[in-house]
Amino acid sequence: MSGDHGSSVISAHVREVEALLEERGLLDDGEIDRRIDEFAAGGSPANGARVVARAWVDPGFAERLLADANAALPEVGLSMSGGLQEQRLKVVANSATEHHVVVCTLCSCYPIALLGPSPSWYKSEAYRSRVVRDPRGVLREFGVELPAATRISVWDASAESRYMVVPRRPEGTEALSEDALAGLVSRKGLIGTALV
């Protein structure tokens, strides 16, 4: 962000507020940094892949996940709390007639606990602006060719809400274990920019 020093001014203000909270005994020294580090350390695309694999093998879990992801996640030992405030998670499932893709048009809101740190392209202005205008073209650039009849739904994340995609289960995987199925799922598939 060459020439834009707005973020450094904001950072200075945040540090001032943090120092005041520490001074007044409302926060321990470095508590915010520790909680952020703990939250980020637990985040991995493997978490999202585990959720998808469970949804593929357990229709009841899939139904609960799509109805209320925050309530279903503890069934696989996960949550969206991150230690500070629970983020709302909506999980959407691809089908033969509809494909979902996730973006945050304002910045880069993303379910770190389930997908790990966001990829650089997810944060790019090009992706954020183009995927809402031309999702089929952007998906094509990622190597995802969908039939013309397939509806594409774009989900816009925000500070309060995050999204994750359950890709379609590949044919011929009925004999695979849940762990093996999780190994088929990529971070791009959880965002909707790849098929499994």
Minimal CA–CA distance to 160: which of 107, 93, 100? 107
pLDDT tens digits for range 74-125: 999 999 876 556 789 999 999 999 999 999 999 889 998 899 889 999 999 9
Active site residues: 104, 107-109
pLDDT confidence of residue 5? 40
pLDDT confidence of residue 41? 58
| CATH 3.90.330.10 applies to domain 44-191 | yes
CB 117 within 8 A of CB 64: no
Q: Provide the Cα torsion 116, 117, 120, 121; round to 10°.
A: 40
Burial of 161 (0-12, 13-18, 19+ CB in 10 A): middle
Annotate 58-106 with DSSP letters as a single string.
-HHHHHHHHH-HHHHGGGGT--S-TTT-PPEEEEEE--SSEEEEEE-SS
pLDDT confidence of residue 62? 98
The parts of the chain modelled with pLDDT lower than 50 are: 1-6
pLDDT confidence of residue 164? 98
pLDDT confidence of residue 113? 87
pTM for the full predicted model:
0.80
Expressed in angstroms, the distance from the first to the final Cα of the chain is 35
- What residues does each domain of the chain span? 6-37, 44-191
pLDDT confidence of residue 48? 97
pLDDT confidence of residue 6? 46
Q: What gap in Å lies between CA 32 and CA 11, rounded to an integer?
A: 14
- Residue 52 CB coordination number (10 Å): 27
pLDDT confidence of residue 182? 98
Extract the tokens encoding 160. Answer: 């309060």
